[in-house]
Amino acid sequence: MKIAPVPPNEADRLKALESYQILDTPNEEGFDDITALAAYICGTPVALVSLVDASRQWFKSRVGTEVTETPRELAFCAHAILNPDELFIVPNALQDERFCDNPLVISDPNIRFYAGTPLVTKDGFPLGTLCAIDIIPRNLSQEQTKALQRLGRQVLTQMELRINLVNLEKNLIQRQQVAEEVVDNNKSLVKIIQKLKHTQAKLIHGEKMSSLGQLVAGIAHEINNPINFVYGNLNHVGNDVRDLLELVYLYQIHYPEPPAEIQEKADSIDFSYLAEDLPNILTSMQTGTNRIRQVVLSLRNFSRLDEAEKKSANIHAGIDSALLILQHRLKARMEHSGIEVIKEYGDFPEIDCYPGHLNQVFMNILSNAIDALEESLINHPERKNNLKIRIRTETSRPDYIMVRIADNGPGIPEAIRKHIFDPFFTTKPIGKGTGLGLSISYQIVVEKHGGTLKYLSKVGEGTEFWIEIPCRAEN
């Protein structure tokens, strides 16, 4: 067994790892969902988010094993971080002189296959890997390799979001309930809103919801605590401000001619305006925090991807959650007068399914429909008042339900129809789509639920997707 050498920048690498304050922390949904998706895409029983410390590799997230850490000298990941720009693959550990007598290979867990993509910070420090592990020799397809690397980058994104939210929470706790610090809290809330909008844009607008929708639950959880802290303290701040103002008014009544220094200070800060404006600032902050709480609740209801087993769920509630998250794209704007959504829901019971995964399918197809309608305005601006999405649900045959989502957009050109379910196939500009949306939707509907995903499209008239899945609902 060959022990991996220590990287030349090891001291700085360990400092970078420590700066994320993530070692020995509890499991988090955002990371667990990415790990589950990595195992699913690579078809392996084990997947890990592994962070290489000075003497061990510690698993922030794990699928298929209960082990939380192993010695660094045994770690495949210690080898992987030596080449941070490359995916590290061991097709058969028994045939690799570096690992053939490794205790993790010749005894439990009997590793044979390993594929790890390094988790590299923006400063170039490899902190660990997102890896897929199997007990049989194998390899990855080109599509699986690309998907694993994309998910690895999202682990780093999740780590950045996590440390930002930890720091924001610390900042909020340290704020004092005085007027100047109320303004500072308001600025912090603006930053939180901007981060939430940025994350929503990445997940929703960019079709990355296909493979990374799992981040939503983790983000909602991390934001919920500091927002509730701020929301709960706003009333106390308001009471304190009123008490302070009343005290000042009493001083003005009983001491109408203060010393010159006090009068000069009151004039310089425009006390009358300050007394009038502070309550307005508090009111606007309460309005803003209420809005954030509503958005977080919608995200938490939508993203239920942590559910590993089928459960009885209301399909219509999942569709409505997706529509709520996409509401900002349906509203009227300069280019059009809004997209009309026509819902024709059938009457059938809850079905046994993976609700979070089906929500992801609805999000992908609805988002694509909106993209198609917006695209149609490029050549037909006169249609800006006639943009429609029709959603119809019905019982298609015994023990099956059908969800039909149709748009009156430009339709799908004949030349690309045979490719639309291919992984990484996209006609969208660089940065807007990954090409995973319909591919993963097909896997969720067909492979995970035993259903069918089809579509009908006519150029110039629109496209309709048919999602048919078994019902298996309890009466």
Rounded average pLDDT over 81-86: 94
Domain ranges of the chain: 10-153, 175-302, 311-470
Put simply, whether the predicted model's pTM sits higher than 0.85 gets the answer: no
State the Cα–Cα distance between residues 156 and 164, nearest whole angstrom: 12
Q: Is the dihedral of CA 106, 107, 110, 113 positive or negative?
A: negative
Confidence of residue 193 (pLDDT cuts 50, 70, 90): low
Least confident span in 100-104, 343-347, 435-439:
435-439
The token duo for 276 is 């009038």
Looking at mean pLDDT, say which of 87-96, 160-169, 184-193 comes out highest.
87-96
CATH (residue range 311-470): 3.30.565.10
Whether the predicted pLDDT of 20 surpasses 50: yes
Those residues whose C-beta lies under 8 Å from the C-beta of residue 388, and which sit 6 or more positions away, are 339, 340, 341, 342, 407, 408
pLDDT at 237: 79
State the Cα–Cα distance between residues 324 and 297, nearest whole angstrom: 11
Rounded average pLDDT over 434-455: 85
State the Cα–Cα distance between residues 319 and 324, nearest whole angstrom: 9
pLDDT at 260: 79
CATH (residue range 10-153): 3.30.450.40
Q: Which helix (H) or strand (E) holds 454?
A: strand 452-458
Confidence of residue 265 (pLDDT cuts 50, 70, 90): confident
Q: Which helix (H) or strand (E) holds 60?
A: strand 56-63
Alpha helices in 309-456 (DSSP H): 315-325, 327-330, 355-379, 437-442
State the Cα–Cα distance between residues 453 and 366, nearest whole angstrom: 14
State the Cα–Cα distance between residues 246 and 411, nearest whole angstrom: 66
pLDDT at 458: 92
Whether the predicted pLDDT of 143 surpasses 50: yes
Mean pLDDT of the chain: 84
406 phi, psi to nearest 5 deg? -120, 145
Number of H helices and E strands in the chain, helices first, is 14, 13
Least confident span in 74-78, 231-235, 372-376:
231-235
The token duo for 41 is 């895409």
State the Cα–Cα distance between residues 63 and 448, nearest whole angstrom: 18
Residue pointed to by tokens 């800060």: 269
